[in-house]
A = this chain, B = another copy of it.
């Protein structure tokens, strides 16, 4: 894992800035023989695409992916897959003030302090546009997973928007695709729509919590000590823009539980595989998957590109007040759902390959 590379065997290097000619993902280590074409990957990009409804930024990007290498006659060849997305909606505008001032809560100031130079147009490298490349890579990962572990199903959804949480008693997988927030709770979807509308009009913003679940993950993925499945998921999620917290299973609440309540009891299932009385562990014990649902959750902070004035300074150290006009994303967490799914897909595939590499098909059997 290097500065802009994620993964050990399935290695994704994203590149590109918000307002440069293009951005993309260089994907190395993909297994050969995976059936994939641009349409397959486009499907996932379309889910993340901005400007699809009034709740996300009005930037209009086709986000059309091109496969430049590594795929031949509809199959991966085992060589690097270059996934490129051209930037088309780089509105010409005067960036003068953004170039000279630092927006509170943005990477403006730290990029400047670190590098002494920054591409300030649209946030440059720190723009959420970078996540389009992740979604493209995740689309490829999903196809590769199908070949290695066909039962795996990866689904993300929102469980919190600001003060509003879903009601888990109303949890319905089928609702997720039926509302603009990917909320598995029809009633929450309605409430949140009104709430977000208000925020949008007032030029405010709010945070969110996303949950991503991988069902059908075989037991045995992961590795001690620093390549634990949960370690890699935590890194994957924390690397997404604006994420400030990551949880596996019980997450931070594990601190409140007693050992008696927290330890998921084990039984033999009818199919000869172990089953568990509960899933406080989020499908991971000792860094290795148990065969239960792998459950990760992450918090996305509210965007600081807001209409309310905030105090800041300029490059020359002068105090100034900042209001971010223009496109506005009242809850960037919404678009983080497909990104979280993509990261889960990349991590699962990486661990499938690592496991096959080190251990092969052999597993300790029970019963």
Contacts and interface: CB of A to CB of B under 8 A. Distances in A.
A69 B105 contact: no
A292 to B, nearest CB: 11
Interface residues of A, number: 165
B263 A252 contact: no
Interface in A318-353: 319, 333, 353
Interface stretch (A109-117, A169-177, A181-189): A109-117
Given A78-B358, A254-B207, A72 B304 contact: no
A353 to B, nearest CB: 5
A207 B257 contact: yes
Nearest to A112: B364
Interface in A235-255: 235, 237-239, 241, 243-255
Nearest to A134: B225
Contact of A106 (B2, B250, B286): B286
Given A68-B22, A106-B286, A33 B115 contact: yes
A77 B224 CA distance: 11
A60 to B, nearest CB: 21
Top-3 shortest CB links A-B: A107-B286, A357-B357, A317-B367
Contacts of A30: 358
Interface in A82-112: 82, 84, 102-107, 109-112
B259 A205 contact: yes
Given A33-B116, A72-B117, A360 B364 contact: no
Given A115-B78, A115-B359, A206-B258, A2 B29 contact: yes
Contact of A304 (B107, B233, B263): B263
A31 interface: yes
A98 to B, nearest CB: 13
Interface in A286-310: 286-291, 299-306, 308, 310
